[in-house]
Amino acid sequence: MQLYNTLTRDVSEFRAIEPGQVSIYVCGATVQGNPHIGHMRAAVVFDLLRRWFIHNGYQVRFIRNVTDIDDKILHTAGHEERPWFEVAAHYEREFTWAYHQLGIIPPSAEPRATGHIGQMVELIDDLIKRDMAYAADGDVYFAVDKFADYGKLSNQKLDQLMVSDDNIDRNKRFVHDFALWKKVDDEPTWQTPWGRGRPGWHIECSAMARFYLGKKFDIHGGGLDLAFPHHENEIAQSKAAGDDFAQRWLHSAWVTQSGEKMSKSLGNSLQVKEVLKLVNGMELRYYLLSAHYRSMLEYSPSSLSESTTAYSRILNFVNRAKELVEPSGQDLPDEFVAAMNDDLNLPIALSVLHEKVRRGNSLISDENSSELSLILAEVIAMLEVLGLSALNQANTGQEQIIDSLVQAIIDEREAARVRKDFATADALRDKLLASGLIIEDTPTGVRWSIKR
């Protein structure tokens, strides 16, 4: 398997630290608001990576954290007039729901920052003892100028970094030093050897990665926007504390809208719960996988619609083929395997999938059942690897109710046809069509779907 490494800027063969085992840490959500599809792209990409490792026989320990204390969360709590912990818990549940809708496998562990203050304090204390950090009037800062490799991940040099207002802070010895611990007056705070306060953002992930994966692990991932300063600072503080830390760095590119990164601050976010009123979870997952993970994905209603149509073609083939043959075998096409092993080359992998569907559709017309059976098995196997199987789609109570109501009308129509009351049967069919449904009479019964 060949994977890109942001740190070395090249694609190279992946070699696990422990044969047959992969350790992955991915930066999760800061639970300050509802998830948007930009959040979900990173989640889907690393879920796919995890699935591919599992398919290849690896045991995967996958850690995705939750930042549940942050100035942004406190700001939201003030705006919504409820406690910070209630805000954090509420939006964490929203993210969990969104992950489930998109068929994302739950992580091996999902640690919260507030549950690991002790590990953060231990790591900060170690850095102070190594003279890589310093305390000043209740604050603790990392001494950036003492870490020679600072900027290597993001390919930046200290003397070229811009100085923002956030960098001009009290008690700093050097303008680019960053906070490991912050003295604050407002709650919540935790007691430490340096006084009461709250952790800096970057120390959270270093402490949790060490606790769950050890001082050396295989892969650290996240969205491209985290490469600097978050991941750069993680590397600095972890390596300065003597950890080998992540051996490979992977970053998924942004979802953009009108050329701008999708984010809450820009006001151009598309919340998952709103998009899922237009498409289902598997259709959204397909859309988010439609470009290479290191390429920007430009959102537009038309591109989402095109992806939905493409995914529908795949499912329609599977449903039609299943009525004629049983899948035979579970092997993935060689071209698909090669594409996935080539740094998760999704455009190529999806083109292989669609080529198989096109060939399969031609065989349905030709009634060539033996080859159709093999192709059906290949398509199902590819969908499983991509996490796009219809079985992965969360079936909500609302969907079950709709399905039951439509099926009741179909049953009533079938009863009318049996008693040769064709006027009633046609009227019921017209009602279904007017509701935006597609009704197909097949040799094995009536099949319905939503018109896109």
Phi and psi (nearest 5°) for 385?
Answer: -60, -40
Pairing of strands 21-26, 216-223: parallel
From CA 396, how far away is CA 274, in angstroms rounded?
A: 15
pLDDT of residue 425: 86
pLDDT of residue 341: 98
| 116: confidence class by pLDDT, cuts 50, 70, 90 | very high
Q: Contact at 8 Å (CB) between 289 and 44?
A: yes
Mean pLDDT score, 109-118 = 97
Long-range contacts of 277-283 (CB under 8 A, 24+ apart): 278/304, 279/304, 279/308, 280/393, 281/101, 281/102, 281/103, 281/392, 281/393, 281/394, 282/102, 282/103, 282/311, 282/388, 282/389, 282/390, 282/392, 282/393, 283/307, 283/308, 283/311, 283/312
Compute how many other C-beta atoms are within 10 angstroms of the C-beta atom of residue 76.
Answer: 20
Nearest alpha-carbon partner for 338 in 59, 25, 2, 87: 2
pLDDT of residue 397: 45
Give per-residue pLDDT as tens, 165-193: 555 667 899 999 999 999 998 999 999 99
Whether the predicted pLDDT of 25 surpasses 80? yes
3-class DSSP assignment, residue 97 = helix
Q: What percent of the chain has pLDDT over 70?
A: 90
Domain ranges of the chain: 2-252, 297-392, 397-450
| Residue 243 token pair | 């950890």
Mean pLDDT score, 294-320 = 94
pLDDT of residue 413: 87
Indicate the residue type of 263.
S
pLDDT of residue 118: 97
- The correct answer on CATH 2.40.50.140 for the domain covering 297-392 is no
| 417: confidence class by pLDDT, cuts 50, 70, 90 | confident
Give per-residue pLDDT as tens, 256-291: 887 677 666 555 568 999 999 899 999 999 999 999
pLDDT of residue 432: 84
Mean pLDDT for all residues in the chain: 91
Point out which residues pair with 197 in neighbouring strands: 183, 190
Give per-residue pLDDT as tens, 382-404: 999 999 986 665 544 455 566 66
**One fold for both 2-252 and 297-392?**
no
Whether the predicted pLDDT of 91 surpasses 50? yes
In this prediction the pTM is: 0.86
Nearest alpha-carbon partner for 213 in 237, 179, 247, 180: 247
| 449: confidence class by pLDDT, cuts 50, 70, 90 | low
Q: Under CATH, domain 2-252 is a member of which superfamily?
A: HUPs (3.40.50.620)
